[in-house]
Amino acid sequence: MSDVKSQIQEMVDASDVVLFMKGTKEMPQCGFSSRVAGVLNYMGVDFSDINVLADNDVRQGIKDFSDWPTIPQLYVKGEFVGGCDIITEMTLSGELDQLFEQKGVAYDKEAADKIREANA
């Protein structure tokens, strides 16, 4: 198990923004993964997508790694942020913008504002 943990740590450390998801950002395989990837894509965030369906060890390992039972899981600068519900709430409240700004992650502020306007 420690091999999987170190493998996941390397994945998390390899990019500023990492999304562990079912499927890929181009072809999500579940609605929750699709929503989070869609938000990140729409906001123009450069992120790595890790398809947990391609590796059962990673699929279970990421749940143990974060102590979070569901997928997708978003990491920003090595820090676990949350799953679909948390990312949705953070997007609508503006907290995701603040996190990206604090961590120095580039994103499209106008796109983020449009998401909030559409969901007001």
Q: What is the pLDDT of residues 30-41, one digit of tens each?
A: 999 999 999 999
Q: Which of 26, 71, 29 is nearest to 48 (CA)?
A: 26
Q: What is the pTM of this model?
A: 0.96
Cis ω before 69 (30° cut-off from 0): no
CA dist., res. 38 & res. 96, Å (int): 14
| Other residues' Cβ atoms within 10 Å of the Cβ of residue 23 | 18
Burial class for 55, CB neighbours closer than 10 Å (0-12, 13-18, 19+): middle
Domains in the chain: ranges and CATH: 2-118 (3.40.30.10)
Query: What is the average pLDDT score of the chain?
Result: 96
Annotated binding site for [2Fe-2S] cluster: 30
Annotated binding site: 30
pLDDT value at residue 92: 97
